[in-house]
Amino acid sequence: MVRAARRFPSWVLAAVGIVLVALVVTVVGAVMAILGANLACVGGGSALAAPATKAAVREIPPQRLRIYQAAGRRFDVDWAFLASIGYQECGHGACAQVYPSGCAGPMAIGYVRGSACSPDPSAPTIWERYRFDGDGDGETDVLNPADAVFTAARMMRPVFGLKGRSYAAYRQAACNYYGACGDSVADYAAEVMARAVEYGFRGKGASAPTGQLTSEVVATGPACEGGDAVGTATGSEIVRIAQSQLGTAESPPGTNCNPYGPCVEWCSLFLAWVWKRAGVPLEGSTATYAYSGTVYKWAKAHEGGGLPGAAAPGEPPLSDPKPNGARVLAPTETPAPGDAVLYGTGPEFGESLHIGIVERVFSNGEITTIDGNLSDRVMRAGPFRPSQAVAAGMPGPIFGFAHPPSAGGGDA
């Protein structure tokens, strides 16, 4: 026999409710105190980050990494995949612009009605339909990285058809994000998935992450706040990493497609890739440094704490520079292993032709270097005297060296 439920006076129920609420608040407060966590952006999740590879830690600015991780938690999307899309679209930079295609912002989201990204002028764009306030400031802005990344994560299932957690499912979502898996120049989906795996994607069917997993990225504040940590490097570590890449060639030959960044002339991409993996605090992705003169300007900016007019606020790598030990050297000065060596007339004169990494410095003043995109591969050059670089077959005279923070000669 089912008994009728016993009814309690309303004041008893109210008192019990107050006690339960107080208990919940106390427990949540204790847990938050133990974890040292804050809410990560709007939409839930603690600020504790999921494991990332060291490659992800070194390539993604800490603030952006926290955004990717928080958005992934909020919408149950693999954050490494989101981060790879973010790299493919913007190199983890600001990209605060509306493109001619009608897409906009760091995640290239359809924004303009009647454009290539949103062909129907009478229909809402996907930004209008799915925009999300990622940083909880009460506004949604397609140029705001937090809003853009959270919106992209929100769209993964209803717009881009993400089904399941497997490698194949995410690869198809990448195809849908770009409207195709690739074209005659590049396979977008393959590039996105390869980078996602490098960052730590571990869906079923994926190969093992190419970098060592680390739990060192732990946000100490909201996921949409915080600055970049300043790292250090040693010359011997830079040289060791560069030497490990000797013989690596672009593929297919003659295309400039390389393992270190987009399919462009890649000597500077190689330098940035090596420096970042050695702990040099280069802001943004390696793609930010595709022009070799940028490396020289970065060192010069961080040497004196500023390079007026070099970049707009918020745009890496020259935004808000602070002295960190980097410096530039004249071509007549003696470099150290791990330094960048730059060829041409110099960025002040509009010409930086090539960049390499100093491998060894001999007592007679000669140096050997390791260079990316030298005869379409990573090669060793020298020994030669810096003053005789052209005679030694290098593409131009040396106009200077860039010394990264705390990169000593070591034992390289």
CATH number of the domain to which 397 belongs: 3.90.1720
Residue-wise pLDDT for 306-317, tens only, equals 554 444 444 566
Three-class HEC string of 128-187: HHHCCCCCCCCCCCCCCHHHHHHHHHHHCCCCCCCCCCCHHHHHHHHHHHHCCCCCCCCC
Among the candidates 181, 214, 247, a domain finishes at 214
pLDDT at 297: 87
Kindly state whether residues 175 and 140 are assigned to the same domain. Answer: yes
Kindly state whether residues 202 and 246 are assigned to the same domain. Answer: no
Position 130 pLDDT exceeds 90 = yes
C-alpha to C-alpha distance for 31 and 43, rounded to whole angstroms: 18
Residue-wise pLDDT for 71-81, tens only, equals 999 999 999 99
Kindly state whether residues 252 and 209 are assigned to the same domain. Answer: no
Residue-wise pLDDT for 363-408, tens only, equals 888 999 999 999 999 999 999 999 999 999 998 999 999 999 864 4
| Structural domain count, the chain | 2
C-alpha to C-alpha distance for 45 and 39, rounded to whole angstroms: 6
Least confident of 3-7, 98-102, 213-217: 213-217
Least confident of 95-104, 327-336, 357-366: 95-104
pLDDT at 211: 44
Neighbours of 107 (CB within 10 A): 25
User: Is 238 within 8 Å of 338 (Cβ atoms)?
Assistant: yes
Kindly state whether residues 127 and 270 are assigned to the same domain. Answer: no
The set of residues, in sequence order, having a beta carbon less than 8 Å from that of 212 and lying 6+ positions away, is: 53, 54
Least confident of 284-293, 303-312, 335-344: 303-312
Kindly state whether residues 94 and 192 are assigned to the same domain. Answer: yes
Among the candidates 183, 214, 245, a domain finishes at 214
Domain that holds residue 325: 235-403
pLDDT at 320: 63
pLDDT at 3: 34
Kindly state whether residues 197 and 242 are assigned to the same domain. Answer: no
Q: What is the mean pLDDT of residues 107-133?
A: 94
pLDDT at 237: 80
pLDDT at 27: 41
pLDDT at 4: 38
Kindly state whether residues 246 and 97 are assigned to the same domain. Answer: no
C-alpha to C-alpha distance for 110 and 152, rounded to whole angstroms: 10
Q: Confirm whether 200 is domain-assigned.
A: yes
pLDDT at 208: 66
The model carries a pTM of 0.48
C-alpha to C-alpha distance for 347 and 316, rounded to whole angstroms: 17
Least confident of 57-61, 99-103, 225-229, 352-356: 225-229
Position 108 pLDDT exceeds 50 = yes
Position 193 pLDDT exceeds 60 = yes
Kindly state whether residues 268 and 193 are assigned to the same domain. Answer: no
Position 45 pLDDT exceeds 50 = no
Kindly state whether residues 176 and 277 are assigned to the same domain. Answer: no
- For residue 381, what are its two tokens? 């050059």
Residue-wise pLDDT for 7-31, tens only, equals 445 544 445 454 444 444 344 333 3
Q: Confirm whether 8 is domain-assigned.
A: no
Give residue 128's pLDDT band: very low, low, confident or very high (50, 70, 90). Answer: very high
Kindly state whether residues 259 and 137 are assigned to the same domain. Answer: no
Q: What is the mean pLDDT of the chain?
A: 78
Q: Confirm whether 19 is domain-assigned.
A: no
Position 235 pLDDT exceeds 70 = yes
Position 294 pLDDT exceeds 80 = yes
pLDDT at 39: 32
Q: Confirm whether 229 is domain-assigned.
A: no
Residue-wise pLDDT for 350-366, tens only, equals 578 899 999 999 888 89
Q: What is the mean pLDDT of residues 229-253?
A: 77
Kindly state whether residues 273 and 386 are assigned to the same domain. Answer: yes
